Chain A
Amino acid sequence: EVQLVETGGGLIQPGGSLRLSCAASGFTVSSNYMSWVRQAPGKGLEWVSVIYSGGSTFYADSVKGRFTISRDNSKNTLYLHMNSLRAEDTAVYYCARDRLVGSLRGGFDPWGQGTLVTVSS
């Protein structure tokens, strides 16, 4: 079964750091474009970051310079390293695969269940 499971969320003080993990099963993380998407309480979806199969990384302006996306191929796991956290980073963080249909990218599927990050003193 193709599945993603996020861990690592919690309560963190402003200015702190946190690392989120996203363990994949049923497919190979390094062969896909993998993204992080967040959702602030009661708000819409905000794309955060992507790592391409070739290793290139991209970020939303709101997190650029503070967040780093990476992966561990041996563990088939995606990460999001978050530094200098702010109250406005409070959200449920989802990981998702931009899955391949044949050789073409065909939408984000699957999604993990999400992990809540709360930035507050």
Chain B
Amino acid sequence: DIVMTQSPDSLAVSLGERATINCKSSQSVLYSSNNKNYLAWYQQRPGQPPKLLIYWASTRESGVPDRFSGSGSGTDFTLTISSLQAEDVAVYYCQQHYSSPYTFGQGTKLEIK
């Protein structure tokens, strides 16, 4: 099984500042046949289902603000929020859907400092 490890577990950032969340997979999630990393990022606000933010490691989902960006390839990935807004308070998860079981990271709780 591919183990997904996020860091940090929690993060407090001032409004307007940058937030960075890291995700590491125990095996590569890059499909060589199509050069896509099967790595997604989700945002979950309290009482809500997860919301897809980023897929293929760096492709922003339609309607997601451009302050959210994803980067990385292979086993190391990063979600960056360039200028934190109050509505970004949530738990963020990375997930690999490269191979079953489609494992999630443990989550990173993002708060306002």
Residues of A within 8 A of B (CB): 35, 37, 44-47, 50, 58-61, 94, 96, 98, 101, 104-109, 111-114
Contacts and interface: CB of A to CB of B under 8 A. Distances in A.
B37 to A, nearest CB: 11
Contact of A107 (B1, B55, B91, B107): B55
Given A44-B91, A45-B44, 16 more contacts: A44-B93, A44-B104, A44-B106, A45-B104, A46-B104, A47-B104, A50-B102, A58-B100, A61-B101, A94-B50, A105-B97, A106-B40, A106-B55, A107-B40, A108-B95, A111-B51
A61 B44 CA distance: 25
A53 B21 CA distance: 33
B45 interface: no
A108 B102 CA distance: 11
Contacts of A105: 38, 97
A35 B102 contact: yes
Contacts, number: 67
18 contacts: A35-B102, A37-B104, A44-B104, A45-B50, A45-B95, A45-B107, A47-B95, A61-B1, A94-B49, A104-B36, A104-B56, A106-B55, A106-B56, A107-B40, A107-B55, A111-B49, A111-B50, A111-B51
Nearest to B50: A111
Interface of B: 1, 34, 36, 38, 40, 42, 44, 49-52, 54-56, 59, 61, 91, 93, 95, 97, 100-107
Contacts of B101: 47, 58-61
Given A44-B93, A44-B106, A107 B52 contact: yes
Contacts of B55: 101, 106-107
Nearest to A98: B97
